[in-house]
């Protein structure tokens, strides 16, 4: 079980972030220590070279001021003061024959480097080199330098103290790097877990929701702007999903209720006719009623499909150039007989021509639904006014005003919901889909719709459409 958990941890984002952090921090520390090590080695070597250069300057001064015998004496004094295995001096002339040399028994073989001599002859500056001699456990620093006009000094010193210092530094460096790696891993793990704690809460909330806890939300804490935005957006998404689910449930209930009524009527008429009918006319009446109810059901189902397709964008409007003023007048003429039957006054205020790019069939349904509602919910001797005009931005404003029963303030925000019907409208026939379809058509034409109404004082529906609407 522990091995499985460890294996699972290797695939987590926290583990990868920790590994990246530890690697980057360790590599950065390694580079910093490496630079420090190289700098320290360079400083130590520089100090050694300075000491040797001072010896060369001293020998040159003795040779110039006191002669060769004094120089021999000084070389003996230097070698006696030091361990002969730690330092040596050799002075030779231009033909390579040694005239002064210290005890070289522990330095065998120490040959003359022709390349160094050539460089010394060419540049005139002391030539330093670090060598690893078989008989010496530590590196040796050897220098070739001119003293006087004709002599060359070859001197070597074992870098034992310097090498031991750098070896201790390497050990400390190695131990420090191990400690740094583990500290970087712990700090990286802590930082990664802290940074991803908000993501874990989102994951945990999503898991709880998948188990049925739809009311759960991600707590918004001060863990950084990105995590807060993620939590806000996730909660907003959950609210939207919950709203959609609630609307779907309500719509399902409404569909079931609205489908149940005509189906129940069809069944009731069929049962009554089958049990009581005595003539062919009664069966014909039942068939006619059944067809009428079926037409109502089909219209309601088709309207629901039209709304869904229009809102989803799958049924894009077929845009053509339309004279909206002529369309409004034609639809009003179709409703004129219905208005006259209820003794309603239907007036139209529209210019002779007002063009728009739109879907002719959809705009006809839009206008028909608005007038159908106005005629249906306006009592006898009422008034209906339809106006079409152009606003200052070049858009079109379509307004349908009536003196009907109106809509209460509590019902007004919900009138565009599918199957929603106000209390005053339940006595009238209808499915509650008309205004939902109108809004869907307006939105598909990139327009806006607004309703102003007061119970008992009529309603005004105002639609604003862009003059030229393209997909």
- Tell whether the model's pLDDT for residue 58 goes beyond 90: no
- Tell whether the model's pLDDT for residue 246 goes beyond 80: no
Smallest CA-to-CA distance from 412 within 449, 360, 362 is with 449
Least-confidence region, from 21-30, 102-111, 322-331: 102-111
Any domain includes 219: no
The domain total for the chain is 3
Which residues does residue 143 pair with via DSSP β-bridges, in sequence order?
A: 128, 155
Residue 400 pLDDT grade (very low, low, confident, very high; cuts 50, 70, 90): very high
Range of the domain at 273: 225-311
CA distance 72 to 63: 9
| CATH code assigned at 255 | 1.10.287.130
Both 397 and 371 in a single domain? yes
pLDDT at 317: 76
Both 52 and 144 in a single domain? yes
Q: Which residue has the higher pLDDT, 385 or 295?
A: 385
Residue entry with tokens 């449930």: 249
CA distance 359 to 444: 10
Decide: helix, strand or coil at residue 448: strand
Any domain includes 189: no
CA distance 404 to 396: 25
Looking at every residue in the chain, the average pLDDT score rounds to 78
Any domain includes 179: no
DSSP 425: G
Both 296 and 323 in a single domain? no
Any domain includes 215: no
| CATH code assigned at 46 | 3.30.450.20
- Tell me the percentage of the chain whose pLDDT exceeds 90: 7
**C-beta of residue 144 within 8 angstroms of C-beta of residue 127:** yes
Q: Which residue has the higher pLDDT, 366 or 205?
A: 366
- Tell whether the model's pLDDT for residue 469 goes beyond 60: no
Both 333 and 294 in a single domain? no
Any domain includes 86: yes
pTM (two decimals): 0.49
pLDDT at 11: 61
- Tell whether the model's pLDDT for residue 134 goes beyond 90: no
| Alpha carbon 367 to its chain's center | 44
Contacts of 455 (CB under 8 A, 6+ apart): 405, 406, 407, 408, 409, 424
pLDDT at 401: 92
The last residue of a domain, from among 117, 139, 164? 164
Which residues does residue 392 pair with via DSSP β-bridges, in sequence order?
A: none
Residue 4 pLDDT grade (very low, low, confident, very high; cuts 50, 70, 90): very low
Which range of 73-77, 225-229, 306-310 scores highest in mean pLDDT? It is 73-77
Both 233 and 255 in a single domain? yes
Both 430 and 294 in a single domain? no
The last residue of a domain, from among 311, 335, 361? 311
- Which helix (DSSP H) or strand (DSSP E) does residue 216 occupy? none
Q: Which residue has the higher pLDDT, 407 or 387?
A: 387
Any domain includes 404: yes
Instruction: Please state the rounded mean pLDDT for residues 277-293.
Output: 79
Both 306 and 327 in a single domain? no
Residue 387 pLDDT grade (very low, low, confident, very high; cuts 50, 70, 90): very high
Any domain includes 196: no
Q: What is the pLDDT of residues 173-209, one digit of tens each?
A: 888 888 888 887 887 777 776 666 666 666 677 677 7
Both 112 and 25 in a single domain? yes
Q: What is the DSSP string of 102-113?
A: ---GGG-S----
Q: Which residue has the higher pLDDT, 452 or 214?
A: 452
pLDDT at 7: 52
Both 261 and 359 in a single domain? no
Both 6 and 150 in a single domain? yes
pLDDT at 109: 52
CA distance 295 to 301: 10
Both 116 and 152 in a single domain? yes
- Tell whether the model's pLDDT for residue 470 goes beyond 60: no
pLDDT at 224: 61
Q: What is the pLDDT of residues 68-122, one digit of tens each?
A: 888 788 877 877 776 667 788 888 876 677 778 777 777 765 677 788 888 888 8
Both 305 and 321 in a single domain? no
The last residue of a domain, from among 120, 145, 164? 164
Residue 1 pLDDT grade (very low, low, confident, very high; cuts 50, 70, 90): very low
Any domain includes 187: no
- Tell whether the model's pLDDT for residue 396 goes beyond 70: yes
């Amino acid at each position: 079980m522990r091995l499985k958990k460890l294996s699972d941890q290797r695939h987590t984002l926290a583990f990868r972030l920790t590994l990246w952090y530890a690697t980057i921090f360790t590599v950065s520390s390694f580079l910093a220590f490496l630079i420090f090590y190289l700098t320290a080695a360079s400083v130590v070597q520089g100090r050694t070279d300075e000491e040797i250069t001072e010896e060369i300057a001293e020998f040159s001064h003795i040779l110039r001021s006191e002669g060769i015998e004094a120089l021999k004496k000084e070389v003996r004094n230097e070698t006696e003061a030091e361990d002969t295995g730690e330092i040596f001096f050799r002075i030779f002339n231009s033909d390579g024959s040694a005239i002064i040399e210290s005890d070289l028994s522990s330095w065998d073989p120490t040959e003359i480097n022709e390349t160094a001599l050539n460089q010394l002859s060419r540049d005139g500056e002391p030539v330093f080199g670090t060598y690893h001699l078989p008989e010496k456990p530590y590196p040796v620093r050897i220098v070739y330098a001119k003293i006087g006009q004709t002599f060359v000094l070859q001197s070597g010193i074992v870098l034992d103290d310097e090498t031991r210092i750098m070896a201790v530094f390497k050990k400390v460096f190695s131990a420090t790097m191990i400690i740094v790696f583990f500290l970087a891993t712990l700090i990286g793990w802590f930082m990664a877990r802290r940074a991803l704690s908000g993501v874990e809460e989102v994951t945990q909330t999503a898991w709880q929701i998948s188990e049925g806890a739809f009311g759960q939300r991600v707590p918004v804490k001060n863990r950084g702007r990105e995590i807060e935005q993620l939590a806000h957006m996730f909660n907003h998404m959950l609210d939207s999903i919950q709203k959609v689910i609630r609307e779907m449930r309500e719509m399902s209930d409404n569909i079931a209720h609205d489908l149940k009524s005509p189906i129940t009527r069809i069944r009731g008429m069929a049962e009554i006719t089958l049990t009581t009918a005595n003539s062919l006319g009664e069966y014909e009446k039942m068939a006619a009623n059944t067809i009428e109810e079926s037409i109502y059901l089909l219209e309601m189902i088709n309207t629901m499909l039209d709304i869904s397709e229009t809102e989803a964008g799958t049924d894009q409007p077929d845009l053509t150039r339309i004279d909206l003023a002529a369309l409004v007048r034609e639809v009003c003429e179709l409703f004129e007989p219905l208005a006259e039957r209820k003794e309603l006054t239907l007036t139209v205020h529209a210019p002779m021509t007002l063009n728009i790019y739109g879907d002719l069939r959809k705009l006809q349904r839009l206008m028909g639904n608005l007038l159908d509602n106005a005629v249906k919910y306006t009592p006898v001797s009422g008034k209906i006014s339809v106006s079409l005009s152009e606003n200052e931005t070049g858009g079109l404003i379509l307004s349908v005003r009536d003196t009907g029963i109106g809509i209460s303030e509590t019902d007004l925000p919900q009138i565009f919901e599918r199957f929603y019907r106000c209390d005053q409208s339940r006595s009238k026939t209808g499915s509650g889909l008309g205004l939902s379809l109108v809004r869907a058509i307006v939105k598909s034409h990139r327009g806006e719709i607004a309703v102003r109404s007061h119970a008992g004082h009529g309603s005004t529906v105002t639609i604003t459409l862009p003059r030229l609407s393209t997909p």
